[in-house]
Amino acid sequence: GFDSSSVGMKTVTVNFSGKTATFTVQITASENDSQNGNGSQGSSSGLNYKKGQIVTDTDGGSYKVVSNAGGKVTFEYRGVKNKNAKSVTVPWNLICDGVYCKVVSIAPKAFKGMKKLQTVYVGNAVKKIGSEAFSGCTSLKNVVFGASVTEIGTGAFLKCTKLQSIIIPSKVTKIGAKAFYGCKNLKKITVKTARLKSVGANALKGIHKKAVIKVPKKQYKKYTKLFKNKGQKKTVKIKK
């Protein structure tokens, strides 16, 4: 039956690449759970999350509930309290009393203007990098995407002036306008995806003039057209 002792401020565990962190959230029993004893470990019936609800971890990371449907709760990563952080990990899930809740997106402007941020690890459940998510992160050098990313939003890495290389993961279908605008030291873009369908206007404007875009052999012809006239200098080369 429903364990009334689980109601209140409870510990939640965040997992990423074998590392864990904890934070607390307010847990309440639904009317049906408290009256009928339907709550159970491993289901979200005892976690009364509402769409738009905000929770914060002990390191200052902020999350918003994206959905709570069919017994599955998903979150969007909104940013971190410490704007001087040098390294940030966006976890692939939150574990709330045994319930796995995926972190599926990074919010627009989540890290915008964090000038000391150097390294970002993106969890494997994250599908979308929001618009201007890392805009103006002028010290950003290392970005490690998780395997599930499908979309890199408009201006996502705008004016990340110390970024020298980036790997576009295998499931990406869309790179937004001005995604890498003003990344003047970006010299190497490695495209792993064979699913890319669109690259927005000026996505590559202002990248290094000797940059190389490495694409899959089978997509070379298609991607040569796809990346054409996206703001980059004519000296930027596409190779297979």
Identify which of 16, 186, 179 has the alpha carbon closest to the alpha carbon of residue 102.
Answer: 16
pLDDT of residue 47: 61
pLDDT of residue 1: 29
Cα(102)–Cα(126) distance, rounded to whole angstroms?
8
Q: Which two tokens stand for residue 63?
A: 């999350």
pLDDT of residue 156: 98
pLDDT of residue 57: 82
pLDDT of residue 114: 98
Cα(228)–Cα(21) distance, rounded to whole angstroms?
43
pLDDT of residue 96: 72
Q: Give the three-class secondary structure for 221.
A: helix
Q: Which two tokens stand for residue 228?
A: 């054409």
C-alpha dihedral sign at 100, 106, 110, 113? positive
- Residue burial 172-194, b: 16+ Cβ < 10 Å; e: rest: bebbbbbbbbbbeebbebebbbe
CA atoms within 13 A on the CB side of 68: 14
> Tens digit of pLDDT per residue, the chain (240 long)?
223 333 333 445 554 445 544 444 433 333 333 333 333 333 444 467 889 999 888 778 899 999 988 778 999 999 999 999 999 999 998 877 678 899 999 999 999 999 999 999 999 999 999 999 999 999 999 999 999 999 999 999 999 999 999 999 999 999 999 999 999 999 999 999 999 999 999 999 999 999 999 999 999 999 999 999 999 999 999 999
